């Protein structure tokens, strides 16, 4: 009997000291996430169909609380709760009208000698997510010095990314094995050793710095964007007060690229819409007084070549009305550009037009034509001044019938009330949120340039319609490297575009560049048409000059027709950096649109039409001519109309740097 008691005591001791494993699976059962405390430290691991994807990976924080640095706290598990959900919600606008949220959830409540912390895990059929929650407690005011979230891959992936130091996220995504990467901007896209694909990012970034991803000992580790003070980078990353929840860290994990592209995990991890009446939020295509400035033909500031004049704006508004566009962007309409250009110390005014821009008359003319003026607010990175002017600026816009504004923050560092900060720091994330919420009060939609990387906030505030954070078309006007390579637009859909809509500004119809002859758009005309389908934005600007569109009326018809609000979207075929074939159905009709683009390699593609409904349809096909080539013959395009039906296949030739755009409507 004595020996029996000893054995039972040993078993109890082993149960107390050995790691305990808690698991949650995806609804389809293919993916399993395990949580484990290892010597008091939280870790998680992930398996797909029984095969390891992530080996035990670290979690947690280094915190400063009440003057003490809290590092390597020993946690104990207080409780574990499980939940599940299967709901469908309707978007205000987007790539789909309806989105399903189906997941299983596990919440672990942890306690240490100093703090309590919960970790919530969610598993979807196409990926997983988790976030940290700090309930209200004695130590409520916390400084985050480091987030210890990591990703320990069972086998090394190939990674597409841009470096952490990429200004405004305007870089070209490059591919390399993980161990060859340094600190990267989030998001990243990966191809796993077994052929699976993964997309790693964050969702619902609220009052917290944006994450970056550092490679440490061939593993991925989270590097939060730090605060700055007096020009110096601090150890401090975030200042939080419990109760507090972190952004979600999520990974899409799928067998195929079409499945990865179809994932809506990021949107599902954001809160439902907080705007009760969304009827004023309108997706639209628009024109812009913009491209000529980048070509250095017009100026933003007042000059003999000033772009945003009453005369020019009237011409663009009339052309927009005649061709079905919703509005015209006016850049350089307001005073203060001389300060931006270093001519003097003037600051921008967001209510004072230059004297050659009659804002009252133009607002009346736009209303008469049934189109809108999209305002432009460049801040030159002076977020503190812009915040002081927000209400006045948006009241001015509202009074003049301007429903949307393109905001800009062209500066290596953003000046806030807390001094100069990185554009993805906690302080600037707070600023962007204030802009969005203030704009919503005045029924103003936002196109944010030089932003923090999108994280799905458009679900909660759908007036945040699009953002930059991308190496867009403007680089093809003046980049010293000659412009973005053809492969760039074949990589973006699988990388940056997975984070949310982007204001890339497609639609160049003239490829000569007399100002910088070595720099140009690396595409054919058909490729530019296809980008209206391939690269999604609910505010989509056709960027070229009126006269260039007038030279190609037949091809311009596709831009007139294509919508920017969709009922459903799908990747038909593609390979990262090589080619993309996207199909989308119009939200307000049965029409389908297809866009295909290729890199520097010409190729023949086959497009199955099995997504069409029954009956006969007519396809209008805008394709590269047989002799088209982005360098030598970019304008060569063929336009064909033919009857098609479900089950048929279209065989299309894509020239080097080429593309194809197709509209399919019912007969």
State pLDDT tens for residues 434-483. Answer: 999 999 999 999 999 999 999 999 999 999 999 999 999 999 999 999 99
Picking from 467, 439, 474, the residue whose alpha carbon sits closest to that of residue 452 is 467
Above pLDDT 70, what percent of the chain?
97
Q: Which domains does the chain have, with CATH numbers?
A: 22-268 (2.70.98.10), 474-499+513-535+552-667 (3.20.20.70)
pLDDT (tens digit per residue) in 98-115: 999 999 999 999 999 999
Out of 368, 474, 640, 648, the active site residue is 474
pLDDT at residue 515 in the model: 86
Query: Residue 519 pLDDT more than 90?
Result: yes
Tokens of 466: 């699009």
pLDDT at residue 10 in the model: 37
Tokens of 350: 């967001």
Residue 527 contacts residue 566 (beta carbons within 8 Å): no
pLDDT at residue 21 in the model: 66
pLDDT (tens digit per residue) in 536-588: 999 999 999 999 999 999 999 999 999 999 999 999 999 999 999 999 999 99
Contacts for 545-554 with beta carbons within 8 Å, 24 or more apart? 545/291, 545/292, 545/510, 546/287, 546/315, 546/316, 546/319, 548/508, 548/509, 548/510, 549/509, 551/509, 551/510, 552/509, 552/525, 552/635, 554/639
pLDDT at residue 16 in the model: 38
pLDDT at residue 197 in the model: 98
Q: What average pLDDT does this structure show over 173-184?
A: 97
- Classify burial at 652, counting beta carbons within 10 Å of its beta carbon; exposed 0-12, middle 13-18, buried 19 or more: buried
Query: Residue 328 pLDDT more than 70?
Result: yes
Above pLDDT 90, what percent of the chain?
94
Q: pLDDT band at 363, cuts 50/70/90?
A: very high
Q: pLDDT band at 1, cuts 50/70/90?
A: very low
Q: What average pLDDT does this structure show over 425-435?
A: 98
Query: Residue 41 pLDDT more than 70?
Result: yes
pLDDT at residue 268 in the model: 98
First vs last Cα of the chain: how many Å apart?
A: 88
338 is catalytic: no
Tokens of 418: 């807390």
**Which residues have C-beta within 8 Å of that of residue 11, sequence separation ≥ 6?**
none
Query: Residue 389 pLDDT more than 60?
Result: yes
3-state DSSP call for residue 481? Answer: coil
Q: How far, CA to CA in Å, does 620 sit from each of 356, 506, 627, 656?
A: 43, 20, 20, 22
pLDDT at residue 18 in the model: 42
Q: What average pLDDT does this structure show over 278-292?
A: 97
pLDDT at residue 11 in the model: 33
Q: What average pLDDT does this structure show over 19-25?
A: 80
- Classify burial at 266, counting beta carbons within 10 Å of its beta carbon; exposed 0-12, middle 13-18, buried 19 or more: buried
In this structure, of 16-25, 83-92, 513-522, the range with the lowest mean pLDDT score is 16-25
Query: Residue 245 pLDDT more than 80?
Result: yes
pLDDT at residue 627 in the model: 98
Q: Look up the pTM and report it.
A: 0.95
pLDDT at residue 20 in the model: 57
Mean pLDDT, the chain, integer: 95
Residue 265 contacts residue 124 (beta carbons within 8 Å): yes
- DSSP assignments along 39-57, one per residue: TTEEEEEEEETTEEEEEEE
Query: Residue 6 pLDDT more than 60?
Result: no
Query: Residue 3 pLDDT more than 90?
Result: no
pLDDT (tens digit per residue) in 644-667: 999 899 999 999 999 999 999 999
pLDDT at residue 343 in the model: 82
3-state secondary structure 549-614: HHCCHHHHHHHHHCCCCEEEEEEEEEECCCEEEEEEEECCCCCEEEEEEECCCCEEEEEECCCCCC
Residue 367 contacts residue 328 (beta carbons within 8 Å): no
pLDDT at residue 536 in the model: 98
Query: Residue 229 pLDDT more than 90?
Result: yes
Q: What average pLDDT does this structure show over 249-263?
A: 98
Q: What average pLDDT does this structure show over 162-182?
A: 97
Q: pLDDT band at 514, cuts 50/70/90?
A: confident
Q: pLDDT band at 47, cuts 50/70/90?
A: very high
Residue 225 contacts residue 212 (beta carbons within 8 Å): yes
Q: What average pLDDT does this structure show over 518-534?
A: 98
Tokens of 634: 């970019």
């Amino acid at each position: 009997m004595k020996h029996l008691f000893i054995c039972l005591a040993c078993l109890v001791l082993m149960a107390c000291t050995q790691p305990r494993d808690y698991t949650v699976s995806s609804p389809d059962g293919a993916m399993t996430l395990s949580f484990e405390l290892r010597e008091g430290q939280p870790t998680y691991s992930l398996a797909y169909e029984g095969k390891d994807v992530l080996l035990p990976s670290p979690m947690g924080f280094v915190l400063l609380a009440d003057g003490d640095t809290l590092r390597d706290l020993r946690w104990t598990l207080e409780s574990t709760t499980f939940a599940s959900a299967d709901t469908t919600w309707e978007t205000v606008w987007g790539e789909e009208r309806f989105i399903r949220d189906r997941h299983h959830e596990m919440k672990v409540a942890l306690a240490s000698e100093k703090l309590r912390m919960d970790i919530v895990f969610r598993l979807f059929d196409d990926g997983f997510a988790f976030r940290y929650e700090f309930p209200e407690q004695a130590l409520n005011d916390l400084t985050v010095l480091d987030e210890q979230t990591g990703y320990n891959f069972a086998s090394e992936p190939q990674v597409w990314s841009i470096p952490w130091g990429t200004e405004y996220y305007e870089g070209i995504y490059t591919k390399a094995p993980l161990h060859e990467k340094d600190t990267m901007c989030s998001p990243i896209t990966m191809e796993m050793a077994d052929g699976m694909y993964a997309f790693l990012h964050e969702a619902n970034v609220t009052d917290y710095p944006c994450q970056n991803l550092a490679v440490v000992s061939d593993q991925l580790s989270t590097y939060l964007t730090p605060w700055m003070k007096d020009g110096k980078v601090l150890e401090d990353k975030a200042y939080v007060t419990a109760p507090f929840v972190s952004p979600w860290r999520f990974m899409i994990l799928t067998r195929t690229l079409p499945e990865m592209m179809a994932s809506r995990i990021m949107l599902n991890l954001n809160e439902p819409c907080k705007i009760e009446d969304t009827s004023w939020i309108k997706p639209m295509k628009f024109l812009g007084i913009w491209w000529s400035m980048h070509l250095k033909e017009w100026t933003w500031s007042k000059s003999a070549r000033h772009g945003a004049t009453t005369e020019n704006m009237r011409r663009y508004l009339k052309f927009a009305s005649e061709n079905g566009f919703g509005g015209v962007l006016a850049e350089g309409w307001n005073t203060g550009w001389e300060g931006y250009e270093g001519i003097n110390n003037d600051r921008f005014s967001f209510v004072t037009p230059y004297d050659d821009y009659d804002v009252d008359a133009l607002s009346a003319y736009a209303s008469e034509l049934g189109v809108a003026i999209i305002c432009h607010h460049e801040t030159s990175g002076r977020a503190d001044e812009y915040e002081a002017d927000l209400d006045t600026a948006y009241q001015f816009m509202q009074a003049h019938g301007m429903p949307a504004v393109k905001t800009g923050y062209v500066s290596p560092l953003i000046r806030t009330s807390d001094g100069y900060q990185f554009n993805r720091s906690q302080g600037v994330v707070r600023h962007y949120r204030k802009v969005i919420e203030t704009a919503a009060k005045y029924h103003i939609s936002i196109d944010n340039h030089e932003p923090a990387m999108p994280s799905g906030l458009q679900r909660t505030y759908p007036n945040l319609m699009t953002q930059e954070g991308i190496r867009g078309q403007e680089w093809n006007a003046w980049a010293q490297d000659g412009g973005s390579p053809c492969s760039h637009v074949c990589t973006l859909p699988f990388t940056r575009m997975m984070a949310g809509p982007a204001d890339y500004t497609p639609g160049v119809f003239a490829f000569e560049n007399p100002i910088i002859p070595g720099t140009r758009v690396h595409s054919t005309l058909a490729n530019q048409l296809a980008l209206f389908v391939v690269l999604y934005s609910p505010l989509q600007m056709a960027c070229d000059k009126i006269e260039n569109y007038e030279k190609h009326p037949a091809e311009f018809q596709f831009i007139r027709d294509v919508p920017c609000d969709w009922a459903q979207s799908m990747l038909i075929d593609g390979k990262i950096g090589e080619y993309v074939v996207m199909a989308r159905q119009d939200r307000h009709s049965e029409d389908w649109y297809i866009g295909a683009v290729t890199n520097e390699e010409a190729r023949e593609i086959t497009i199955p039409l099995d997504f069409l409904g029954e009956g006969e349809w007519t396809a209008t096909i805008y394709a590269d001519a047989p002799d088209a080539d982005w360098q030598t013959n970019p304008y060569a395009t063929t336009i064909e109309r033919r009857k098609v039906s479900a089950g048929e296949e279209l065989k299309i030739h894509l020239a080097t740097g080429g593309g194809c755009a197709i509209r399919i409507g019912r007969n």
